[in-house]
Structure 1
Amino acid sequence: MCRSVDVRTAVPARNDGLAAELRADLARRRVTAVSLLSSPGSGKTALLEVVLRRARERGLAVAALTAGLATENDARRLARSGAPVKQVLTGGLCHLEAAQVSGLIDGWLPDGTRLLFVENVGNLVCPASYDLGETLRVTLMSVTEGEDKPLKYPPAFGAAHLVVLTKTDLSDATGFDDAAFATAVERVNPGVEILRTSSRDGRGVDILLDRVLAVADGAAPHAPLLAVDHPRRQGHDNGPAEAHDAHGQGRVSRAAVT
C-alpha cells in the first residue's frame, strides 16, 4: 500500500527530534547555545564579533558557528575576536538545521566551552521554524529596517526569548521610531525584553552578555509566543491550547522554543 508523507511536517519534525538530542548533549557538557536570527544587513556579525571579544576579555570560554550561503567572510571577521569559529556553508539552503549544528560541533567544539553562539543565515522566514537545540533564541534587527518589521515577520519575533535592536548609533539619522518599534514587538511577543545595542560604540554589549550568562547560570529565559504559521506546529503545543491572537497575527501558543 502506498503511503503519502507531507514533507512540510515530516522534515521539521525530524529536525525537532535531533534538536532535542542536541540540547540534551549540550546540557550534559554544560554548554549554553544561543542562536541569532536576523535579516541580511542587520549588523548581526559585527555585533557578534564585539560580543565574542568582550566575552574573552571577561575570561569566558566562547565559540561561534556562523552560516553563510557561499563565502567564509563572516567566519574570518568573527575569528578576529580570538574565539574559536567554524563556518557553515549551506550551499544555498536558507536556514540551518539541527543536524548541521550537531555534526559541526562533534570533534570541533573545545572542551570547557561555556557559550556557543550560532549565527543563522540572514533570513527571517525559514530559520524561525527550525529548532537548533539552542537554550536562548535571539532575534535582531537594525534601526535601518523600519520599526514595523516585527509585524511583518511575527514568527521570527514571536519565537524570540530576547529581541536585540542594532545600529542604535544611527537612530537619529534614520528617524527611527523607538516607541513604535517597542509597540510592534509587544504585539507579537508580549513581555519580551528589548536590548538596544551598537557594535560601533559598544552600547548594550555588556548587558547582552549578562543576559546570556544569566541563562547559562540557570535563569529561565522569557517564554515567547511561538507563532504558528506552519502546519507542523499545530497540535504540538507544550502550553495552553492554541488560539488566534487578538491582533490577527495567526495562531499562537504559549510555548518556548526550547
Structure 2
Amino acid sequence: MCGNCGCQTDADIKPSATAPTRVLQLQQNLLTQNDRRAERNRALFRHLLTLNILASPGAGKTTLVQSLLRDRALIAESDPMHHHPTPLQAGVIVGDLASDRDAQRLRQSGVPVVQINTGELCHLDADSVTQAAQQLDLAHLHLLIIENVGNLVCPAAFDLGEDLRLVLMSVTEGEDKPLKYPTMFKSAHAIILSKIDLAEVVGFNREEALHNLHLIAPQALIFELSATTGAGLPSFYAYLGQAIAQCREKTMAQPGLANSS
C-alpha cells in the first residue's frame, strides 16, 4: 500500500504503543479533507455527468473508456427522449502510478485527456482531480470520465466528486472478487462484469459470480459486457445516456448553469 493514506499494514509501521492511534487519526484527517474537496468538485461538475471507473489492474478499464469515447454518438442517441446534445463532448482524467501509456491510447480518440501520475500513491484523491480538471474546458463538456488507479482497496475510501462509481470485475479474475474486496463493491452504483467473451475459455462460473455480487452489492446495477466484441454495450450505453440526460435536465432547470453549459 502507499503508506500515505493510512492504508499501510501493521508490518509497515515501526513498533510503537501509539502507532495505531496515529494511523487512525491520519486516515480520518485525510478523508475529512478529501470529502470537503470532493463536494467542491461536485459543485464544479454539476452540469455534466462524472464517472469514477475503478478496478484491479488489467480488468479492462482503459479498453472500456476507449469504447465509450468511440461510441459517444451511440450514447447520445440511447436516450428515448433525445435530450442529448450532439456531438457529445467528453473529457478524461487518467490516474496511474507512472507513465502515460493509457492516456496516449485514449488521446487517439481526439478527446482531451489529462494524465495524473501518483508516484507512490495507490489512488486518486479529490484535490488531484481538481487540479487535473482545471486543464479541461469543463463548461463545454457533457461527460467527464475519471479512470482511477488500478486498485480495489484504497480508492474505495476516496470520494472524487463523481456522480457514478463504476467498478469493473473481469471474468479472468475469478468469481470471488466481491467477497475479497467488499468495501469497493459496496460503494458501486454499477458493476461491470467485463471480458465476457473470455468466460468460457477461462471456465468462469457466471451464476456464482452473480450470486456473490448480489450478496455483497445488492444496490448496484450489473452489466455484463465485452468492450472488445461490443456484446452488452447497448444496455450500458442506455444507462449512461439516461444519466447524462438527467444531468442536462437539471442544468436547463437552473438558468445560471444553463448559460454555462
When normalised by structure 2's length, the TM-score is 0.78
Which one scores higher on RCO, CA 8 angstroms, separation ≥ 6?
A: 2
Unaligned runs of 5+ in 2: 1-21, 77-86, 248-261
Q: Contact conserved, 1:143 with 1:165, CA < 8 A, in 2?
A: yes
Alignment partner of 1:51 is 2:68: yes
Structure 1 position 178 matched with structure 2 position 197: no
Structure 1 position 193, deviation (Å): 1.3
What's the offset of the Cα at 1:109?
Answer: 3.1
- Identity within the alignment, %: 38
1:163-202 mapped onto 2 (5 Å cutoff): 163-202=191-230
2:9 matched residue in structure 1 = none
The alpha-carbon deviation at position 56 of structure 1 amounts to: 4.9
Structure 2 distance, partners of 1:140, 1:175, is: 19
TM (norm. structure 1) is 0.79
Contact 1:53-1:82 at 8 Å conserved across structures? no
Alignment of 1:15 with 2:34, yes or no, is yes
Paired residues for 1:23-62 under 5 Å: 23-27=42-46, 30-56=47-73, 58=76, 59-62=87-90
Q: 2:162 aligns with which of 134, 149, 154?
A: 134
Where 2:95 maps in the other structure, the secondary structure is strand
Shift of 1:206: 2.9
Q: Which structure has the larger Rg? A: 2
Secondary structure of the corresponding residue to residue 121 of structure 2: coil
Query: What is the identity, as a one-letter code, of the residue corresponding to 2:26?
Result: V
CA distance in 1, matches of 2:217, 2:134: 34
Q: Distance in 1 between matches of 2:115 and 2:232?
A: 26
The structure in which a higher percent of residues are helix is 2
In structure 2, distance between residues paired with 1:100 and 1:11:
13
Cα shift readout 1:41-89 (whole Å, capped 9, x = no counterpart): 1011111111111015652111111111110000011112221111111
Contact 1:56–1:62 at 8 Å: present in 2 too? no
**1:143-158 aligned within 5 A:** 143-158=171-186
Q: Distance in 2 between matches of 1:82 and 1:107?
A: 15
Confirm or deny that 1:78 pairs with 2:106: yes
Gaps of 5+ in 1: 220-258
2:96 maps to a residue whose letter is G
Higher strand share: 1
Q: State the Cα RMSD in Å.
A: 1.6
C-alpha displacement of 1:125? 0.1
Distance 1:82 1:204 in 2: 25
